[in-house]
Amino acid sequence: MSFTPKIQIAAITDEFSPDLAAALPVMREIGMASAELRVVSGKNIMDLNDAERTQAKEQISDAGMTVISIASPLLKCVLPGDHEVDGRFQQDVFGSKHTFDDQARLAERAFELAHFFGARFIRVFSYWRTTQPERCFPAIVAALSALAERAAQENVIIGLENEHACNIGTAAESAKVLAAVDHPNLQLIWDPANAMVGGEQPYPHGYSLLPKHRIGHIHAKDCEMIGHKPVWGPLGTRHVDWKGQIAALLADDYQGAISLETHWPGPDGNKLEGSRICGWNLRGLASA
């Protein structure tokens, strides 16, 4: 059996290490040719100065890799108004805690970085999840519509990630917002594990609800639920049916990448080794 991936594989670099010099060689060893940028040298990608981003671009180029996505924190904030945030979900900010008032500036920075690194996608969210997410829906539609229109002018794609700690967390919620914002420059970053944490069976049920032509990118991690909390583990060994999901993607002629977002702390807390293990598991699953 060939061990060549049938779907492009990639990773968020800081899942291996915030130091690109440590992360990129392991990613290349696994066979990854593309990177997502979120945290570099301890800074969120949005906060790099000119010298730091130039150095990062050179390191990625020297490794023979490209940047596929700017994993921005856009719309990962509290939506103003009478909205009670749902405290059940951990709010990961990855060194970039911003408010609603910061979003216009962050959007400009994200487009700038996408062009600088040659990234096709800018990852965005849907505001921190509230106890009544349906009340936030009009504001989410308005924000995503505006970003998609701007993205069309900038020739990039806005990738909405279904994030369990945000208002669009499941496939059902994703399908609803994609129908409301029927724009070619808005696509879904489908994260089956996030949907599972949100209380949905991601595959086959969740995936069956999604418009396949709107799935532009995929994040891969794995967990089991203990009560209402996820316990992360090696990719392909927990409760997300990655074998079935990848087979369905191939059957549906998916043309994007599957990008590792490990989350598992790794053996004895060794995150680099944990991502190495998950990366090889991803390569095996994508090659079956």
pLDDT tens digits for range 18-66: 999 999 999 999 999 999 999 999 999 999 999 999 999 999 999 999 9
pLDDT of 94 reads 59
Q: Which residue type sits at 52?
A: E
pLDDT of 93 higher than 70:
no
Backbone angles phi, psi at 100, to 5 degrees: -55, -40
Domain boundaries, the chain: 8-287
pLDDT of 43 reads 94
Mean pLDDT on 230-248: 98
pLDDT of 125 reads 98
DSSP line for 165-210:
TBS--SHHHHHHHHHHS--TTEEEEE-HHHHHHTT--IIIIIHHTS
∠ CA 53-57-60 to the nearest 5 degrees? 135
| Short-list 102, 103, 76, CA closest to 89 | 76
The pLDDT confidence band at residue 96, using thresholds 50, 70 and 90, is low
Q: Half-sphere exposure of 125 toward its Cβ, with a 13 Å CA cutoff?
A: 26
pLDDT digits 0-9 by tens, 26-35:
999 999 999 9
> Cβ(260)–Cβ(282) under 8 Å?
yes
CA distance 188 to 135: 21
What topology is assigned to 8-287 in CATH? TIM Barrel (3.20.20)
Sequence-distant (6+) residues with CB within 8 A of 188 are 159, 160, 161, 162, 174, 178, 210, 214, 215, 216, 217
Q: Half-sphere exposure of 9 toward its Cβ, with a 13 Å CA cutoff?
A: 25
| Short-list 40, 92, 48, 98, CA closest to 74 | 98
| Short-list 145, 141, 213, CA closest to 173 | 141
| Short-list 85, 88, 172, 182, CA closest to 136 | 85
The pLDDT confidence band at residue 227, using thresholds 50, 70 and 90, is confident
Mean pLDDT on 4-21: 97
Mean pLDDT on 233-239: 98
pLDDT of 135 reads 97
| Short-list 47, 28, 29, CA closest to 37 | 47
CA distance 180 to 137: 10
pLDDT of 86 reads 85
Q: Which of the residue ranges 2-11, 61-70, 150-159 would you say has the lowest mean pLDDT?
A: 2-11
DSSP state of 104: H
pTM (predicted TM-score): 0.96
pLDDT of 252 reads 98
> Coil, strand, or helix at residue 157?
strand
> Coil, strand, or helix at residue 152?
helix
pLDDT digits 0-9 by tens, 104-141:
999 999 999 999 999 999 999 999 999 999 999 999 99
pLDDT of 1 reads 45
Q: Which of the residue ranges 94-103, 108-117, 202-211, 223-232 would you say has the lowest mean pLDDT?
A: 94-103
pLDDT averaged over every residue in the chain: 95
Mean pLDDT on 208-235: 97
> Cβ(26)–Cβ(277) under 8 Å?
no
pLDDT of 2 higher than 70:
no
> Cβ(278)–Cβ(260) under 8 Å?
yes
